Chain A
Amino acid sequence: MESKGAGYEVIYKRPEAMTDAKTIYCPGCGHGIIHKLLAECIDELGVRDETILIAPVGCSVLAYNYIDVDGCEAAHGRAPAVATGIKRVHPDKMVISYQGDGDLLAIGTAETIHAANRGENITVIFVNNAIYGMTGGQMAPTTMVGQVTKTTPFGRDANDVGFPIRACEMINTLECPVFIERVSVFDVKQIVKAKKAIKKALTNQKEGKGYSFVEVLSMCPTNWGLKPQAAADWVRDVMVPYYPLGNFRDR
């Protein structure tokens, strides 16, 4: 399809770095939006041929089928360690760790903290949807107090299992990270800000500045039991007050 013709111009279409495969994500899932933003940034920075994407264990385990770059599997939670291994071999390549809340904050807590603490020159994109999607809706470390999940059938009880973990704030206690920001994709305004943050996080890596972290508050309509628009509103109304949006560090 021509981009320009007599009186028309395509001004929004699939990014080059994205395959045209239909994703397996649920209707209204935030992954589709976040993948798009990542692919657009990869296109705009011209880094497609040097990007290596590490996918998590979670709904986006097959992210490398949608983002057309070299892709690597990692065991659950180990993506930052795998990313470290790759980056230490290829310091000139763009190494991106794309992870969910179980991956980053449950089983992978040690790997998350230590890659950040070492200041590995990688980009970590953390998709926080307050639940374990792929396995059918169990509690995540980021599940809200009172939220009903398969393993908190009576609502998350902070007296029993504590409070949700704020990843940006936790990583912000470490010396080395150069960029830490929390964004969301619940409406277009947030999507624009999310893209800016992701682009900065990738540019930092390209410039060799150090470890960059972007947390994206995202929707999981299926496991929240909400229709997609209601799920987007839930991110805005319930998640954002607890996980404040904004930049925590920008060196």
Chain B
Amino acid sequence: MAQGKPVIDSERCKGCGLCLGACPKKILKLSDDFNKQGVQYPVCVDEDACIACKFCAMMCPDLAITIIKTA
């Protein structure tokens, strides 16, 4: 049961991928498509598993991730 979810601003993302490594549940993967900068951005592939730890957002150098707590 999801405790929260990351809201990813794909246009702010620069595709550094640091969030992928930061996520303890490993539920972030790079998108198949590209943003306007030609960059692949993260998508959460299993929102149910999100524990709203905020690690991805804390790691992100570009404030491209906002975390919403739902539980």
Residues of A participating in the B interface, judged by any CB pair closer than 8 Å: 7-14, 18, 20, 22-23, 25-33, 36, 187-188, 191-192, 221, 227-229, 232
Contacts and interface: CB of A to CB of B under 8 A. Distances in A.
B45 interface: no
B66 A10 contact: yes
A30 B63 CA distance: 13
A33 B59 contact: yes
B62 interface: yes
22 contacts: A8-B70, A9-B68, A11-B67, A12-B58, A12-B65, A12-B66, A12-B67, A14-B66, A18-B63, A22-B62, A25-B62, A27-B61, A30-B61, A32-B63, A187-B21, A187-B59, A188-B22, A188-B59, A191-B58, A228-B18, A232-B18, A232-B21
A223 B17 CA distance: 17
B61 A28 contact: yes
In the A-B complex, the 8 residue pairs with the closest CB atoms: A32-B61, A28-B16, A27-B16, A27-B14, A12-B67, A228-B16, A12-B57, A12-B54
Nearest to B20: A229
Given A7-B70, A11-B68, A188-B22, 19 more contacts: A8-B70, A10-B68, A11-B4, A11-B69, A12-B54, A12-B67, A13-B63, A13-B67, A22-B62, A25-B62, A28-B18, A28-B61, A32-B63, A33-B60, A33-B61, A221-B16, A229-B18, A232-B18, A232-B21
B68 A32 contact: no
Contacts of A192: 58
Interface in B27-68: 39, 52, 54-55, 57-63, 65-68
Nearest to A29: B61
Nearest to B53: A188
A26 B17 CA distance: 12
- A interface, by DSSP: helix, strand, loop or mixed? mixed
B58 A188 contact: yes
